[in-house]
């Protein structure tokens, strides 16, 4: 049993949490390059006392980073270095379903990854790992997040599939229709590889998806544009902050262990005698628990 420490990744429209008490900004260095910016750490009122919360803006100050330029590895790495136990990501999305209207919130439980060219793993040549990812979202955290979202102002939807595209352009009408046939419910540009990396870092992950538009699958409607997206995002930001406040209040006083806390158990396939020392050093925060405790392989 241990305490909660929420890591919050703010997406488009939420560059400051605005709800933290005793907040202070700290610069945290990553072994995987430059993160999107400093970490703002503070507390939120919880049922069992103050809940530690560390926040990073995914796109940086002034939204200077497009989705493909975000250093997702560094962002997850610095949150892990801050002692975060669970990650809540916030992201603007387009809707691929009539019932998911602009202004609605969705807590997806599945992902389709259509991104290309992004670093998808902390591991690689010298230390190879294959982490289970069939169920990419933590059901405990997602359940509480959906409950907090519903309490902050309906409508909120639990479950659904998020398709991640590379961007920065919005999708074509043909792509939008294809994603609907695939069973995707919302579309965005940032949840992947973010969720993958959180799993490798043994951090339970849940996503609060804020619907801003209907993408472009509806026949006869104007295509998505930034102005309309921003208009809805401004209305969503305050509700996202209220959701964070309510989530902290829902957390049990003590945090029971999650299976995701040990997601790397059995995942590293490279024998210890073949590990690359430089990569092992970079993995000190992400996989230090396992790398320090794994006994030497037999000769």
DSSP string, the chain: -B--EEEEEE-TT-SS----EEEEEE----TTS--SSPEEEEEEEETTEEEEEEEEETTTGGG---GGG--HHHHHHHHHHTT--EEEEEEEEEESSTTS-TT-EEE--EEEEE--SS---S-BTTB-B----SS-S-HHHHHHHHHHHHHTSS-EEE--EEEEE--SSPPPHHHHHHHHHHT--EEESSHHHHHHHHHHTT--EEEEEEEEE-TT-STTSPPP-HHHHHHHHHHHHHHHHHHHHHHHHHS-SSB---GGGGTTTTTB-S-GGG--HHHHHHTTTTSHHHHHHPPPPP-
Active site residues: 213, 215
Q: Between 2 and 189, where is the model more confident?
A: 189
Give 73-88 as a DSSP string: HHHHHHHHHTT--EEE
- Structure confidence at residue 1 (pLDDT): 41
Please state, in angstroms and rounded to a whole number, the distance separating the CA atoms of residues 216 and 243.
28
Closest among 101, 95, 103, 100 to 215, alpha carbons compared? 95
pLDDT at residue 197, rounded to an integer: 98
Predicted confidence at residue 19, as pLDDT, reads 76
Share of the chain above pLDDT 90, in %: 75
Q: Are 202 and 262 in contact (CB under 8 A)?
A: yes
Residue 253 to residue 251: CA distance in whole angstroms: 6
Burial class, 38, CB count within 10 angstroms (exposed 0-12 / middle 13-18 / buried 19+)? middle
pLDDT single digits (tens) 217-247:
988 777 777 777 777 777 788 888 899 999 9
Q: Which tens digit of pLDDT belongs to each residue from 210-221?
A: 999 999 898 877
Q: Are 155 and 62 in contact (CB under 8 A)?
A: no
pLDDT cut 70: percent of the chain above it: 96
18-30: pLDDT as tens digits: 778 888 999 999 9
List pLDDT tens digits, range 35-54. 999 999 999 888 778 899 99
Q: Assess whether pLDDT exceeds 60 at residue 294.
A: no
pLDDT in tens, 115-146: 999 999 999 999 999 999 999 999 999 999 99
Average pLDDT of the residues in 87-100: 95
pLDDT for residue 161? 98
Q: Calculate the average pLDDT of the chain.
A: 91
Model pLDDT, residue 13:
65
Query: In Å, how far from its chain's centre is CA 210?
Result: 13
Residue 12: pLDDT over 80: no
Q: What is the mean pLDDT of residues 186-191?
A: 97
- For residue 15, the model assigns a pLDDT of 65
Residue 195 has pLDDT above 60, yes or no: yes
Q: How many CB atoms lie within 10 A of CB 230?
A: 13
Determine the length of the chain. 299
pLDDT band for position 292 (50/70/90)? confident
Cα dist. 11→67, 131, 197, 217, 250 in Å? 10, 26, 17, 24, 23
Query: At 34, phi and psi to the nearest 5?
Result: -85, 125
Confirm if 234 and 49 have CB atoms less than 8 A apart.
Answer: no
Reported pTM: 0.93
At 109 the pLDDT is 97
Please give the average per-residue pLDDT across 286-292, as a whole number: 88
Taking residues 146-162, what's their average pLDDT?
92
pLDDT at 299 over 50: no
Q: Which two tokens stand for residue 132?
A: 């289970």
Question: According to the model, what pLDDT value does residue 235 have?
Answer: 77
Q: How many CA atoms lie within 13 A of 147 on its CB side?
A: 12
What integer pLDDT is reported at residue 11 of this predicted model? 74
Query: What's the pLDDT score for residue 99?
Result: 96
| Structural domains in the chain plus CATH codes | 5-90+100-110+118-161+190-209+220-293 (3.40.50.1580)
Model confidence at 32: pLDDT above 80: yes
């Amino acid at each position: 049993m241990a305490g909660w420490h929420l890591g919050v990744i703010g997406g488009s429209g939420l560059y400051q949490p605005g709800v933290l008490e005793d907040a202070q900004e700290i610069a945290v260095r990553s072994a995987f390059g430059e993160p999107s910016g400093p970490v703002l750490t503070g507390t939120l009122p919880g049922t069992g006392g103050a809940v530690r919360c560390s926040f990073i803006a995914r796109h940086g100050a002034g939204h200077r980073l497009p989705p493909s330029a975000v250093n997702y590895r560094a962002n997850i790495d610095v949150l892990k270095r801050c002692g975060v136990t669970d990650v809540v990501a916030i992201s603007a999305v387009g809707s691929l379903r009539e019932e998911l209207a602009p202004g609605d919130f969705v807590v997806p439980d599945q992902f389709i990854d259509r991104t290309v060219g992004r670093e998808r793993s902390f591991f690689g040549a010298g230390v190879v790992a294959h982490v289970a990812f069939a169920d990419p979202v933590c059901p405990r955290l997602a359940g509480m997040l959906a409950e907090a979202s519903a309490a902050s102002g309906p409508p909120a939807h639990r479950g659904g599939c998020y398709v991640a595209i590379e961007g920065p352009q919005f999708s074509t009408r043909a792509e939008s229709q294809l994603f609907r046939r695939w069973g995707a419910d919302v579309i965005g540009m940032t949840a992947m590889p973010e969720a993958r990396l959180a799993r490798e870092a043994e951090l339970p992950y849940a996503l609060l998806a804020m619907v801003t538009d209907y993408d472009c699958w509806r026949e006869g409607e104007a295509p998505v544009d930034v102005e309309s997206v921003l208009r809805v995002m401004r209305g969503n930001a305050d509700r996202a902050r209220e959701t964070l406040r309510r989530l902290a209040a829902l957390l049990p006083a003590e945090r029971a262990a999650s299976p995701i806390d040990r997601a790397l158990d059995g995942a590293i396939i490279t024998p210890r005698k073949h590990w690359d020392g430089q990569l092992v050093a970079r993995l000190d925060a992400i996989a230090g628990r396992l790398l320090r405790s794994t006994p030497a392989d037999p000769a």
